[in-house]
Amino acid sequence: MNPSFRMLLTIFLYEQSISLQLRNRFLADLYRATESIEQAKQEWKWICQELRELYPKDSKLHIQRKIIQACKLRGRKYPLQYILQTQPFGPLNIQCSPGVLIPRWETEEWVERTMPLLYSLLVPNPVRIMDLCSGSGCISSYISASFKRPHCLHIIDISSKALHVSAKNLLACKQDSSTLDTQFHKVNVLSAKKPMLNLLRNCHAVLCNPPYISPNEFYSNTDLSVRRYEPKHALIAQEDGNQFYKIIASYVFELLKDPLITKDALRLLVFEIGSSEQAKYVKNLFSGSTFHTTIWKDSANLDRTVVVQRT
């Protein structure tokens, strides 16, 4: 058989196979979003199941309309997490809302890995933990649900909507009695120097997933779904994506020059990063005898987290 004809026949048979499997026109919307028949089928099951659970009192007709609308939205690359209103994160289902960053599996991994470090902190109870650039509050919710040592949480974001979603997630997760206090602070990390210094001064540990994508990287390499629908302020940072790390490090070093700072303050800083170059940049920010710095890889073998421990 002529090789060119064989290729055309293969393409034709593949397209026919897809056509047969996508006779459900709403499944076709999901296929446009996922470019995978199996993933489209899985999302169809999730949408049907979750929307029925979200609206148990609605009539069958109303549920069908919601499912149809959800599939149409998904066909335009609208995030599935915003449609289903949740995203699994460790043992939790984190509530998701448009305008608030969707939790990622990479963050879940390093938060889980950070737990032993929090337990080992040689500071008096309660451990005071800051969730900096909190977004949905997935980090603080995980800690509240899983960390059994007495602790207090300070949750910080520039977005009122993010803080509202964080509060909902903290309430929804099964808070252990070890969470003694939870405080929410609307703060612009980049410009509110005095409030940030006051908050950092009283914390033992800071867990931070800041905006770290450069503008060029955002518009050239991120997924269309992210560019269209997720909040840019939670993703983009100036100075090649390093702006937040630089500012936070400057606050930390200013505090450490203060003779009144206690030996228990800022014992642990954990930063999510987006590349090996960024990992090296953050590690260099905290170089010197004051800190011990480690870079963690994620399960995809990519540099993902910089762990800074005060010596």
Who's near 283: CB < 8 A, 6+ residues apart? 293, 295, 306
Name the helix (H) or strand (E) containing 61.
helix 60-75
Same domain, 115 and 254: yes
Same domain, 118 and 242: yes
Cα–Cα distance measured from residue 268 to residue 247, given in angstroms and rounded to the nearest whole number: 17
The encoded tokens of residue 293 equal 């710095």
pLDDT, residue 220, reads 95
Contact indicator for 184, 122 with CB cutoff of 8 Å: no
pLDDT, residue 6, reads 64
- The secondary structure of residue 209, as a DSSP letter, is -
pLDDT, residue 266, reads 97
Decide if 149 is inside a domain: yes
Same domain, 171 and 299: yes
Decide if 152 is inside a domain: yes
DSSP state string for 112-178: HHHHHHHHT--SPSSEEEEEES-TTTHHHHHHHHH--S-EEEEEEES-HHHHHHHHHHHHHS---TT
Q: Provide the residue type at 43 as one letter.
A: E
Decide if 118 is inside a domain: yes
What's the number of domains the chain is made of?
2
Decide if 249 is inside a domain: yes
E strands, the chain, where? 86-89, 92-95, 127-132, 151-157, 179-186, 205-208, 268-272, 291-297, 303-310
pLDDT beneath 70, residues of the chain: 1-24, 174-176
Contact indicator for 103, 136 with CB cutoff of 8 Å: yes
Point out the domain boundary residue: 22, 54, 76.
76
pLDDT, residue 242, reads 98
pLDDT, residue 10, reads 56
Which has the closest alpha carbon to 235: 211, 255, 214, 207? 211
Same domain, 202 and 228: yes
Decide if 84 is inside a domain: no
Query: 98 by DSSP, 3-state: which?
Result: coil
Which has the closest alpha carbon to 299: 60, 105, 116? 105
**pLDDT tens per residue across span 130-186:** 999 999 999 999 999 999 999 999 999 999 999 999 999 999 886 667 889 999 999
pLDDT, residue 104, reads 97
Decide if 99 is inside a domain: yes
Cα–Cα distance measured from residue 234 to residue 217, given in angstroms and rounded to the nearest whole number: 14
Point out the domain boundary residue: 33, 52, 76.
76
Give the burial class of 137: count Cβ atoms within 10 A of its Cβ; 0-12 exposed, 13-18 middle, 19 or more buried.
buried
The encoded tokens of residue 101 equal 């960053």
Q: Provide the residue type at 154 as one letter.
A: H
pLDDT, residue 9, reads 47
Same domain, 45 and 146: no
Q: How far is CA 209 from its chain centroid?
A: 7
Same domain, 286 and 187: yes
pLDDT, residue 205, reads 98
User: Residue 296 belongs to what domain range?
Assistant: 89-310
Mutual orientation of helices 60-75 and 25-34 as an angle, nearest 10°? 40
The encoded tokens of residue 199 equal 């908050």
**Cα angle 88, 93, 94; round to 5:** 95
Cα–Cα distance measured from residue 13 to residue 9, given in angstroms and rounded to the nearest whole number: 6
**Phi and psi at residue 206, in whole multiples of 5°?**
-125, 125
Name the helix (H) or strand (E) containing 82.
helix 80-84
pLDDT, residue 22, reads 46
pLDDT, residue 16, reads 46
